Protein backbone atom coordinates (compact mmCIF):
# COMPACT_ATOMS: atom_id res chain seq x y z
CA UNK A 1 0.00 0.00 0.00
CA UNK A 2 1.11 3.54 -0.77
CA UNK A 3 -0.58 5.96 1.65
CA UNK A 4 -1.99 9.32 0.67
CA UNK A 5 -5.44 8.84 -0.87
CA UNK A 6 -7.02 10.20 2.31
CA UNK A 7 -5.88 13.57 0.92
CA UNK A 8 -7.76 12.94 -2.35
CA UNK A 9 -10.98 14.78 -1.44
CA UNK A 10 -9.09 17.93 -0.45
CA UNK A 11 -7.02 17.81 -3.66
CA UNK A 12 -10.12 17.38 -5.83
CA UNK A 13 -11.85 20.25 -4.05
CA UNK A 14 -8.82 22.44 -4.69
CA UNK A 15 -8.79 21.48 -8.37
CA UNK A 16 -12.51 22.18 -8.71
CA UNK A 17 -11.99 25.87 -7.96
CA UNK A 18 -10.72 26.22 -11.53
CA UNK A 19 -14.31 25.75 -12.66
CA UNK A 20 -16.01 27.98 -10.11
CA UNK A 21 -16.94 30.82 -12.47
CA UNK A 22 -18.22 28.84 -15.43
CA UNK A 23 -21.31 30.43 -16.96
CA UNK A 24 -21.28 33.53 -14.77
CA UNK A 25 -20.50 35.99 -17.59
CA UNK A 26 -23.75 34.99 -19.32
CA UNK A 27 -25.73 34.61 -16.11
CA UNK A 28 -26.71 31.03 -16.91
CA UNK A 29 -24.40 28.95 -14.74
CA UNK A 30 -23.17 25.59 -15.93
CA UNK A 31 -20.71 25.29 -18.79
CA UNK A 32 -20.71 25.32 -22.58
CA UNK A 33 -19.92 22.03 -24.33
CA UNK A 34 -18.41 23.04 -27.65
CA UNK A 35 -18.69 19.51 -29.10
CA UNK A 36 -22.47 19.43 -28.75
CA UNK A 37 -23.02 23.21 -28.92
CA UNK A 38 -25.07 22.86 -25.75
CA UNK A 39 -24.94 24.39 -22.30
CA UNK A 40 -24.62 21.81 -19.53
CA UNK A 41 -25.78 22.13 -15.93
CA UNK A 42 -27.63 25.45 -16.32
CA UNK A 43 -29.26 26.30 -13.01
CA UNK A 44 -27.77 23.26 -11.25
CA UNK A 45 -26.25 24.10 -7.87
CA UNK A 46 -23.40 22.20 -6.23
CA UNK A 47 -23.13 22.18 -2.44
CA UNK A 48 -20.20 20.83 -0.40
CA UNK A 49 -21.59 18.90 2.56
CA UNK A 50 -18.21 18.49 4.22
CA UNK A 51 -16.50 15.32 5.38
CA UNK A 52 -17.83 12.32 7.22
CA UNK A 53 -15.79 11.99 10.39
CA UNK A 54 -13.37 9.07 10.48
CA UNK A 55 -13.33 7.36 13.86
CA UNK A 56 -9.92 5.73 13.93
CA UNK A 57 -9.94 2.02 14.79
CA UNK A 58 -13.76 1.91 14.63
CA UNK A 59 -14.70 1.08 11.06
CA UNK A 60 -18.31 0.24 11.93
CA UNK A 61 -19.00 3.69 13.37
CA UNK A 62 -17.16 5.38 10.51
CA UNK A 63 -19.23 3.50 7.93
CA UNK A 64 -22.41 4.33 9.87
CA UNK A 65 -21.59 8.04 9.67
CA UNK A 66 -20.92 7.82 5.93
CA UNK A 67 -24.26 6.05 5.47
CA UNK A 68 -26.14 8.62 7.58
CA UNK A 69 -24.63 11.58 5.72
CA UNK A 70 -25.51 10.01 2.36
CA UNK A 71 -29.06 9.31 3.55
CA UNK A 72 -29.45 12.93 4.65
CA UNK A 73 -28.42 14.14 1.19
CA UNK A 74 -30.86 11.76 -0.48
CA UNK A 75 -33.67 12.96 1.78
CA UNK A 76 -33.11 16.47 0.40
CA UNK A 77 -33.72 15.15 -3.11
CA UNK A 78 -30.14 15.89 -4.15
CA UNK A 79 -27.67 13.78 -6.14
CA UNK A 80 -24.95 12.52 -3.77
CA UNK A 81 -21.40 12.80 -5.11
CA UNK A 82 -18.94 11.13 -2.73
CA UNK A 83 -15.17 11.52 -2.79
CA UNK A 84 -12.64 9.02 -1.50
CA UNK A 85 -10.35 8.07 0.08
CA UNK A 86 -9.88 4.47 -0.86
CA UNK A 87 -12.54 2.37 -2.54
CA UNK A 88 -13.85 0.87 0.70
CA UNK A 89 -15.94 4.05 1.08
CA UNK A 90 -18.25 2.94 -1.74
CA UNK A 91 -19.86 0.25 0.40
CA UNK A 92 -21.31 2.51 3.14
CA UNK A 93 -22.33 5.10 0.53
CA UNK A 94 -24.20 2.58 -1.63
CA UNK A 95 -25.81 1.00 1.44
CA UNK A 96 -27.90 4.19 1.77
CA UNK A 97 -29.60 3.62 -1.60
CA UNK A 98 -32.08 0.92 -0.58
CA UNK A 99 -35.04 3.01 -1.79
CA UNK A 100 -33.77 2.71 -5.37
CA UNK A 101 -34.17 -1.06 -5.72
CA UNK A 102 -33.40 -2.69 -8.04
CA UNK A 103 -30.13 -0.79 -8.27
CA UNK A 104 -27.44 -1.29 -10.92
CA UNK A 105 -23.83 -0.44 -10.09
CA UNK A 106 -21.63 0.88 -12.91
CA UNK A 107 -17.97 0.57 -11.93
CA UNK A 108 -15.04 2.12 -13.82
CA UNK A 109 -11.97 0.38 -12.41
CA UNK A 110 -8.75 -1.39 -13.30
CA UNK A 111 -9.68 -4.04 -10.72
CA UNK A 112 -12.78 -6.02 -9.82
CA UNK A 113 -12.56 -5.23 -6.08
CA UNK A 114 -14.66 -8.36 -5.58
CA UNK A 115 -12.45 -10.29 -3.18
CA UNK A 116 -14.34 -11.89 -0.31
CA UNK A 117 -11.57 -11.55 2.27
CA UNK A 118 -8.22 -9.75 2.31
CA UNK A 119 -5.92 -11.01 5.08
CA UNK A 120 -9.06 -12.11 6.89
CA UNK A 121 -10.73 -8.67 6.63
CA UNK A 122 -14.12 -8.17 4.98
CA UNK A 123 -14.16 -4.39 4.52
CA UNK A 124 -11.09 -3.28 2.58
CA UNK A 125 -10.52 -1.60 -0.77
CA UNK A 126 -10.15 -5.10 -2.25
CA UNK A 127 -13.72 -6.08 -1.43
CA UNK A 128 -16.26 -3.22 -1.60
CA UNK A 129 -18.13 -4.64 -4.56
CA UNK A 130 -18.32 -8.10 -3.04
CA UNK A 131 -20.01 -6.48 -0.04
CA UNK A 132 -22.17 -4.30 -2.29
CA UNK A 133 -23.28 -7.37 -4.26
CA UNK A 134 -24.59 -8.80 -0.97
CA UNK A 135 -27.02 -5.89 -0.49
CA UNK A 136 -30.47 -7.22 -1.32
CA UNK A 137 -31.45 -4.17 -3.39
CA UNK A 138 -28.44 -4.36 -5.76
CA UNK A 139 -29.37 -6.20 -8.95
CA UNK A 140 -26.12 -6.25 -10.89
CA UNK A 141 -22.65 -4.76 -11.16
CA UNK A 142 -21.22 -3.69 -14.52
CA UNK A 143 -17.43 -3.28 -14.39
CA UNK A 144 -15.56 -1.55 -17.21
CA UNK A 145 -11.81 -1.21 -17.77
CA UNK A 146 -10.50 -4.22 -15.81
CA UNK A 147 -6.91 -5.15 -16.59
CA UNK A 148 -3.53 -5.96 -15.08
CA UNK A 149 -2.61 -8.91 -12.87
CA UNK A 150 -4.09 -7.99 -9.49
CA UNK A 151 -7.65 -9.26 -10.01
CA UNK A 152 -7.83 -13.01 -9.46
CA UNK A 153 -9.50 -15.64 -11.60
CA UNK A 154 -11.59 -16.59 -8.56
CA UNK A 155 -12.94 -13.03 -8.31
CA UNK A 156 -13.76 -13.05 -12.00
CA UNK A 157 -15.50 -16.44 -11.94
CA UNK A 158 -17.54 -15.55 -8.88
CA UNK A 159 -18.57 -12.18 -10.31
CA UNK A 160 -19.72 -13.77 -13.57
CA UNK A 161 -21.50 -16.59 -11.74
CA UNK A 162 -23.41 -13.97 -9.73
CA UNK A 163 -24.71 -12.42 -12.97
CA UNK A 164 -22.45 -9.39 -13.05
CA UNK A 165 -20.98 -8.05 -16.32
CA UNK A 166 -17.25 -7.49 -16.79
CA UNK A 167 -15.67 -5.61 -19.70
CA UNK A 168 -11.88 -5.54 -19.85
CA UNK A 169 -9.80 -2.70 -21.23
CA UNK A 170 -9.31 -4.67 -24.46
CA UNK A 171 -13.08 -5.09 -24.82
CA UNK A 172 -13.35 -1.30 -24.85
CA UNK A 173 -10.38 -0.87 -27.19
CA UNK A 174 -11.49 -3.49 -29.71
CA UNK A 175 -15.28 -3.25 -29.59
CA UNK A 176 -15.72 0.42 -28.76
CA UNK A 177 -17.95 2.21 -26.29
CA UNK A 178 -20.99 2.31 -28.57
CA UNK A 179 -21.18 -1.45 -29.10
CA UNK A 180 -20.78 -2.22 -25.40
CA UNK A 181 -23.46 0.26 -24.34
CA UNK A 182 -25.86 -1.03 -27.00
CA UNK A 183 -25.72 -4.55 -25.60
CA UNK A 184 -26.32 -3.49 -22.00
CA UNK A 185 -29.78 -4.11 -20.55
CA UNK A 186 -31.95 -1.25 -19.34
CA UNK A 187 -30.21 0.06 -16.23
CA UNK A 188 -33.14 1.63 -14.37
CA UNK A 189 -31.71 3.38 -11.34
CA UNK A 190 -27.94 3.18 -11.43
CA UNK A 191 -25.01 4.29 -9.27
CA UNK A 192 -21.61 5.15 -10.77
CA UNK A 193 -18.34 4.42 -8.98
CA UNK A 194 -15.14 5.71 -10.61
CA UNK A 195 -11.80 4.48 -9.40
CA UNK A 196 -9.30 6.89 -10.91
CA UNK A 197 -7.02 3.92 -11.72
CA UNK A 198 -9.55 2.98 -14.38
CA UNK A 199 -7.90 5.72 -16.43
CA UNK A 200 -4.47 5.20 -17.95
CA UNK A 201 -1.64 6.28 -15.61
CA UNK A 202 -0.28 8.57 -18.31
CA UNK A 203 -3.19 10.91 -17.54
CA UNK A 204 -3.92 9.87 -13.95
CA UNK A 205 -0.63 8.85 -12.31
CA UNK A 206 -1.61 9.85 -8.78
CA UNK A 207 -3.18 6.64 -7.54
CA UNK A 208 -2.17 3.76 -5.30
CA UNK A 209 -2.56 0.96 -7.88
CA UNK A 210 -1.82 2.25 -11.40
CA UNK A 211 -2.16 -0.26 -14.22
CA UNK A 212 -0.81 0.14 -17.76
CA UNK A 213 -3.13 0.15 -20.80
CA UNK A 214 -5.91 2.05 -19.09
CA UNK A 215 -8.92 3.83 -20.52
CA UNK A 216 -8.71 7.34 -21.92
CA UNK A 217 -10.62 10.28 -20.49
CA UNK A 218 -12.66 10.34 -23.70
CA UNK A 219 -13.63 6.66 -23.48
CA UNK A 220 -14.81 7.01 -19.88
CA UNK A 221 -16.66 10.24 -20.61
CA UNK A 222 -18.41 8.83 -23.69
CA UNK A 223 -19.36 5.63 -21.87
CA UNK A 224 -20.96 7.59 -19.02
CA UNK A 225 -22.73 9.90 -21.46
CA UNK A 226 -24.20 7.01 -23.43
CA UNK A 227 -25.43 4.93 -20.49
CA UNK A 228 -27.46 7.97 -19.39
CA UNK A 229 -29.89 7.04 -22.17
CA UNK A 230 -30.49 3.63 -20.54
CA UNK A 231 -31.38 4.68 -17.02
CA UNK A 232 -31.31 7.28 -14.28
CA UNK A 233 -28.11 7.98 -12.33
CA UNK A 234 -28.97 8.33 -8.64
CA UNK A 235 -25.49 8.62 -7.10
CA UNK A 236 -21.80 8.87 -7.88
CA UNK A 237 -18.43 8.45 -6.24
CA UNK A 238 -14.83 8.96 -7.31
CA UNK A 239 -12.02 7.41 -5.31
CA UNK A 240 -8.32 6.52 -5.04
CA UNK A 241 -6.83 9.88 -6.02
CA UNK A 242 -3.48 10.10 -4.25
CA UNK A 243 -1.92 13.57 -4.62
CA UNK A 244 1.32 12.40 -3.00
CA UNK A 245 2.01 10.24 -6.06
CA UNK A 246 1.10 12.84 -8.67
CA UNK A 247 3.08 15.37 -10.65
CA UNK A 248 1.77 18.76 -11.74
CA UNK A 249 -1.51 17.99 -9.90
CA UNK A 250 -2.65 16.21 -13.07
CA UNK A 251 -4.79 13.47 -11.47
CA UNK A 252 -6.86 15.72 -9.23
CA UNK A 253 -7.65 18.02 -12.17
CA UNK A 254 -8.70 15.03 -14.30
CA UNK A 255 -10.87 13.87 -11.39
CA UNK A 256 -12.56 17.24 -10.89
CA UNK A 257 -13.41 17.63 -14.57
CA UNK A 258 -14.62 14.04 -14.87
CA UNK A 259 -16.93 14.53 -11.89
CA UNK A 260 -18.45 17.68 -13.38
CA UNK A 261 -18.97 16.06 -16.76
CA UNK A 262 -20.46 12.93 -15.18
CA UNK A 263 -22.91 14.97 -13.12
CA UNK A 264 -23.86 16.73 -16.38
CA UNK A 265 -25.03 13.40 -17.83
CA UNK A 266 -27.70 13.32 -15.11
CA UNK A 267 -29.12 16.73 -15.94
CA UNK A 268 -28.81 16.81 -19.73
What mean pLDDT do residues 234-260 have?
96
**Which stretches of 76-127 are DSSP H helices?**
90-94
- The SS3 call for residue 239 is strand
Beta bridge partners of 241: 207
Kindly report, residue by residue over 80-123, the tens digit of the pLDDT: 999 999 999 999 999 999 999 999 999 999 999 999 988 888 99
**Residue % of the chain over a pLDDT of 90:** 86
Tell me how far apart the alpha carbons of residues 48 and 70 are, in angstroms, rounded to a whole number.
12
CA end-to-end span of the chain: 39
Between CA 33 and CA 106, with CA 18 as vertex, the angle to 5 degrees is: 60
Residue 135, pLDDT > 70, answer yes
Kindly report, residue by residue over 191-210, the tens digit of the pLDDT: 999 999 999 999 999 999 99
Kindly report, residue by residue over 46-90, the tens digit of the pLDDT: 999 999 988 888 999 999 999 999 999 999 999 999 999 999 999
Helix 250-266, helix 217-227: angle, nearest 10: 20
Residue 27, pLDDT > 80, answer no
Q: For the whole model, what pTM was predicted?
A: 0.96
Amino acid sequence: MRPGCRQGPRAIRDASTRFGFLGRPTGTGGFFDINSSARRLPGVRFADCGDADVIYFDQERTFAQVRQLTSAILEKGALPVALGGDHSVSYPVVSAFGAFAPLTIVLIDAHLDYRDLSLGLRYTNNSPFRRISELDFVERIITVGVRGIKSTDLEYREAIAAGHLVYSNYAVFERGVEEIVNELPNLGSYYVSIDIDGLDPSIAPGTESPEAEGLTFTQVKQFLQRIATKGNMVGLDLVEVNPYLDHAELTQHMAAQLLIETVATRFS
